Amino acid sequence: MLMLVALIPALAWGSVGIVTTKMGGTAAQGTIGMTLGALIFGLATMLFYVIPAAGADYAFNPRIWLVGFVSGLFWAVGTAGQFVAFKKLGVSVGNPLSTASQIALNALMAASVLGEWTTGKMWLYGLIAIAAVVAGAIFTSLPDKNAKADVNPEHDPKGGLIAITISSLGFMMYFVFPNLLNKVGYISNSLHNAPDGSGLHYMTAIVGPQSIGQVIGALLIVIFVMHEGKTMWKPATFRNILTGLIWGIGNIAMFISAANPQIGQATATTLSQLGIIVGTFGGIYILHEKKTPYQMKYIILGTVLVVVGAVVIANLGSLAG
């Protein structure tokens, strides 16, 4: 059951690029709309779960609010960069490249800074698995030199790669920050682990203030970085609220899994990135992003490598114990 919960983010987050493309609009409109959906989901989580189940000590704890708010700001950077990359590279290319960089950064950060890989064997197998995941993601995005030129008017490989780099750094901090603040002692173990060592109260309490940080961060980015303040309240923005609601389901499942000692940060974040399968094949078969037979061979090979690498990371404890 725990593994099933840990796989929910893959389905939800893998669908984000597909849903936002279907909803239409610019990267800025998609970012704002998604944060509004996340805000609805986050406040609903606080009102209908955190307050009744964990109480006011969690729902209105100033330290939890600070951690959640800052985590939301990091997420806004990650999401804005990812949406820009989707526009410039396409979902079937942008999704696997984004996934690869996130897996590498998140797993290494969780393993080294949070101390989740505790033996030499775990590091050996973990690094091999990360290499497999990264290689797989690269294979899924290989171009075919004999294919027709891209007709996407926004196609910009260099700009897309820069956007993915910024996005991945933002997502890395969003993933790691809540547990990092526990590691350095800002969040006490008793506050972090309740109830019964699962961390459920802490990770669900973060979601409300996190959603506020997401909205504020997105507004700042859209107005001062993307310079789209005058066009951000268009119909496409409100259609993308659905994107945020779908993302919110994956978000709460990921944090619940990351807080649970039986899953852990490295495993939870890696499994969440299996959304590469949904995003890549969804981009091809739902959004009709054209691929040649040459590319499809490497996409299938790359997908297999990603799955194998993720499974190894998810089972490092037993494989390298």
pLDDT given for residue 40 in this prediction: 94
**246, 19 Cβ separation under 8 angstroms:** yes
pLDDT given for residue 191 in this prediction: 93
Structure tokens, 48: 């209908």
By C-alpha distance, which of 19, 88, 41, 66 is closest to 243? 19
Structure tokens, 31: 């970012």
pLDDT given for residue 59 in this prediction: 95
Helices (H) and strands (E) counted in the chain, each on its own, are 17, 0
The pTM assigned to this predicted structure is: 0.84
The tens-digit pLDDT sequence of the chain (321 residues) is 788 888 899 999 889 889 999 999 999 999 999 999 999 989 999 999 999 999 999 999 999 999 999 999 999 999 999 999 988 988 888 888 887 788 788 788 878 887 888 889 999 999 999 999 889 878 987 877 776 655 567 778 899 999 999 999 999 998 889 989 999 999 999 999 888 887 889 989 999 999 999 999 999 999 999 999 999 999 999 999 999 999 889 988 887 887 777 887 667 877 777 787 888 889 899 988 888 999 999 999 998 898 888 778 777 877 876
- The helix-helix angle for 27-45 and 16-23 (nearest 10°) equals 120
Q: Which residues, at least 6 apart from 262, have a Cβ–Cβ distance to it below 8 Å?
A: 2
* DSSP of 237-257: HHHTHHHHHHHHHHHHHHHHH
**34, 248 Cβ separation under 8 angstroms:** no
